[in-house]
Structure 1
Amino acid sequence: MEGNLTKGPIMKTLVKLAIPIMASAFLGTLYNITDMAWIGLLGSKAVAGVGVGGMFTWLSQGLASMARMGGQVQVAQCIGRGDREKAHGFAQAAVQLSAAMGIAYAVLCLIFVNQMVGFFRLEDAEAQAAALAYTKIACGLIVFSFLTLTLTGLYTAQGDSKTPFMANLIGLVTNMILDPVLILGPGPFPRLGVTGAAIATVTAQAIVMSIMILGIIARKKENVLKGTRLFAKIPAEFLRGICRIGIPTAIQGMAYCGISMILTRMVSGYGAEAVATQRVGGQIESISWNTADGFAAALNAFVAQNYGAGERERVRKGYQVSLWTVGIWGVLVSAVFICFPNAIADIFFHEPKAVATAVGYLVIIGFSEAFMCVELTTIGALSGLGRTRLCSVISIVLTSARIPLAIVLSGIMGLDGIWWALTSTSIVKGIIFTCTFFWIMREKSV
């Protein structure tokens, strides 16, 4: 039977669900940091190329969130209402939609890869070649990532966060073994460089997906994913339900990435070191981002199940507990970024100019970490209530403000002005999202 999140102590229920999700998110951070650490040995130009290619895998995550969020919220709410048949219908539809979108995205990327990479106007030939090589492999086989995200969401909706954690742990170990072997080519192994990093990542994603599928087949407990037929026709009712919840989330994620692409194009004018700093800095920052996003995923399932069961007071209390937890974590990360930027930068960069650029990024971005954690957690709670459209509007409007703000501030402070544009908007978003949630709950209009 699925994990019931509508009963028991709120803190214990949330933490029990959240810890494996947060651990999985942390493993995702280690995936990226491991890649960057090894690729960093190839130089800042290789890192810049992977950074550009990584933009397109990030863009895909926004699209993939449509099936994941739509499926997770609908399945959790159905479980909360005790409607198991509908829960299975939404779960199957989410998996089918995820597979179809992953394949379609891969085909488009392979056809238009030159135009996509060309958008960033990389002046260095080595960085350009690295970006093309990484994008072709990482995006060409992106379907594994799509299905992994959706399956994780559906497991979470049922209160099972342990299976995705174990799958991601095995994937991380695989990635950590393959990275140095395929990137650097020790002994008899060929030195594949950036191509090796892409192969290692895709292989790990395929393994994670396979383990979660085997978990559905092997486990004796009831699971809404059992009996899923990949090639069956998707009933319109389930497709509409997933799209209603998932499309705003997908638009939000893709818009966020699109805005970041424009900012990256601005950053590229300051050289390959600046692009590499943005890429690596983003991965370092994911220590707080992925952890908060993991807690948000747990809160999303908790809120959705309790909302479906009519337990509004548990929804309110669960959010308050989560807010304090991720807020404290964000403050700790901020302190580390601001106080020890040189120690962090030295891990990933070996050129003085790149280290100096990275230190400036970490100090400035450090001021917004707690606010970003609060923002992500609140989006998880609001999405669990089905308010994905509201989240999308707030997020897109405020994130879009980064572009004109970056133009103005970079004219005054140079590259640091772009970093301050990111930080200031994150602070504002954290405050506004928190106020929005409390306003909705006070009005009892959920």
Structure 2
Amino acid sequence: MQRIGWTRPTAKTMRDMLHIGAPIFAELFLVSLFVMVDTALLKPCGTTAIAAVGLTAEPINVLEFLFFAVQTAVIARMARASAKNDRNAIHAIIRGYLKLTLASAALLAVLTGVFAVPFLTLFGGTADTLPIAVPYFQISLLAFVCRRMYGAMATILKGLDKPQWSFLLNLIANGINIVGDIVLINGYGPFPKLGALGAAVATVSGCAVGLVCAVVVMRDQLRAREIRIPLSDWLRSTWRETRAICTEALPMAGEKVMIRLGIFLSITRIAALGTTAFAAYRILISLQNFAYLGAEAVATTALIFLSKAYANHDRKAAQDAFSAAMVYGLAFSSLCAVLFFAVPGFLMSCYSDDPQVLSEGVRVLRIIFLYQPFQAVALIYASGMRSCRRAGIPSIITTVGIVLVRPSLVYLLAGPLGVCGAWIAIMTDEIVRCVLLFALRGKMWRQFTDAPTPSPAVV
């Protein structure tokens, strides 16, 4: 077997990846930014309202995380079909994916809406927060269905090399959400003052408009590729393609479940350290997420390019795309590492003025900077393996790291070292995962070297 390693990427590949990756990064940053703004606008409603709305965040995340696993599988499948210009396969993927998303999102929304009180109580709802949290959550479930549908269409557009539309759809939806928050929470003009419920109504409005725009954009993009999906086709069975999507997404879905479990196990130990320590931890998570989303954008871009190379059995294109992704990933992660090390006090002061929180955070940021490149490299290798149908490898490694390595070290080190010990555990987990994925990189390249003949298109 010919080994494929890192070489200097071509200027064309670097430009192409930047063209695709920049909108993906902007979209992720935009979503993260609007979540923070949405919370800040509830400040006039009081602490109870903020806590009640914050209570609903984790249940919504739990409902959404399996959809993210399916999105990754669909991006890879769409990229492979697009590379071969297989209109029949694209046709089948779109029908199967959208029907699966609508059915799953609607079912989850109905079930959790009916049992909202016990569901939210499970996540820490109390007599103070539930009266506000329950109606907010039930209204937000309408937004959940709309968001998952326009998110599915945005995923399809990414697979068709049109990520800029995904960014614009999120810009429209979240822009309407923010304007609606300002108007409906405070009751400006002819609108009533709805408080926390106004935030839920604004979110539904933004997501509904985003869904309408997504339908229009996707229809136009499919017409440009001469792909027609008549209304009668939506009534036909899509079991074969739906099963193929779910099969490819299964390892990633299992990985998402394990990630949620691992984070839960770690947080329970960190929360026991006290309010100040936990506040510092949450701020550090917010800062770390910025570095993570940049690396995730690069990894998603790599997934698109490597999936196309795999579909075409093009080893040179795979090598070129992988090398370009490494350049971008290491450059961005190194920049974040420099910021974390050089100006930790400034970064922490953007979130808090508490001297203890600042002191704790500055110390930990000097640790966080160490593993940034390892995180980026691991994400890129994981995307490479997913692009060639080897998703089980990163899923198993992530499960071992985040469910066994990280919580064990958090429980061992957080006691004597506090938040600093918790982040040493997180750093160890990230580095171990990177080393294991690097050691198993031959499994990925073997797939590109001896790529199997693709199966016939599903009609």
Alpha-carbon deviation of 1:204?
3.0
Q: Calculate the aligned-residue CA RMSD, in Å.
A: 3.4
Alignment of 1:18-417 (within 5 A): 18-39=21-42, 50-121=53-124, 135-139=137-141, 141-183=143-185, 192=194, 194-219=196-221, 220-222=223-225, 226-227=229-230, 232-271=235-274, 278-279=281-282, 281-349=284-352, 362-401=365-404, 402-417=406-421
Give percent identity, aligned residues only.
21
Q: Name the counterpart of 2:423.
A: 419
Counterparts in 2 of 1:409 and 1:201: CA distance versus 1, 3 Å: farther
Number of residue pairs aligned between Structure 1 and Structure 2 = 439
Task: Say which of 428, 433, 451 aligns to 1:429.
Answer: 433
Looking at structure 1, the residues matched to 106 and 114 of structure 2 have their Cα atoms a distance apart, in angstroms, of 13
Contact 2:277 2:360 in 1 (8 A): yes
Alpha-carbon deviation of 1:403?
1.8
Q: Which residue identity is paired with 1:106?
A: A
Question: Structure 1: which 5+ runs fail to align?
Answer: 1-6
Counterparts in 2 of 1:327 and 1:134: CA distance versus 1, 3 Å: farther
Alpha-carbon deviation of 1:10?
2.1
Looking at structure 1, the residues matched to 189 and 347 of structure 2 have their Cα atoms a distance apart, in angstroms, of 30
Counterparts in 2 of 1:121 and 1:30: CA distance versus 1, 3 Å: closer
Contact 1:55 1:257 in 2 (8 A): no
SS in 2 for 1:142: helix
Counterparts in 2 of 1:79 and 1:328: CA distance versus 1, 3 Å: same
1:89-130 CA-partner distances (Å, limit 9, x unpaired) = 0121011111111112223332444444444557x8656767
SS in 1 for 2:224: coil
Q: Which residue identity is paired with 2:340?
A: F
1:336-377 CA-partner distances (Å, limit 9, x unpaired) = 234334433343446666656655665544443333233323
Counterparts in 2 of 1:215 and 1:121: CA distance versus 1, 3 Å: closer
Counterparts in 2 of 1:362 and 1:98: CA distance versus 1, 3 Å: farther
Question: Structure 2: which 5+ runs fail to align?
Answer: 1-9, 452-459
Looking at structure 2, the residues matched to 251 and 356 of structure 1 have their Cα atoms a distance apart, in angstroms, of 37
Q: Which residue identity is paired with 1:398?
A: G
Q: Greater Rg, structure 1 or structure 2?
A: 2
Contact 1:301 1:384 in 2 (8 A): yes
Looking at structure 2, the residues matched to 274 and 234 of structure 1 have their Cα atoms a distance apart, in angstroms, of 53
Contact 1:217 1:226 in 2 (8 A): no
Counterparts in 2 of 1:136 and 1:91: CA distance versus 1, 3 Å: same
TM-score relative to the length of structure 1: 0.84
Looking at structure 2, the residues matched to 353 and 129 of structure 1 have their Cα atoms a distance apart, in angstroms, of 34
Looking at structure 2, the residues matched to 265 and 316 of structure 1 have their Cα atoms a distance apart, in angstroms, of 42
Contact 2:340 2:365 in 1 (8 A): yes
Contact 2:96 2:239 in 1 (8 A): no
TM-score relative to the length of structure 2: 0.82
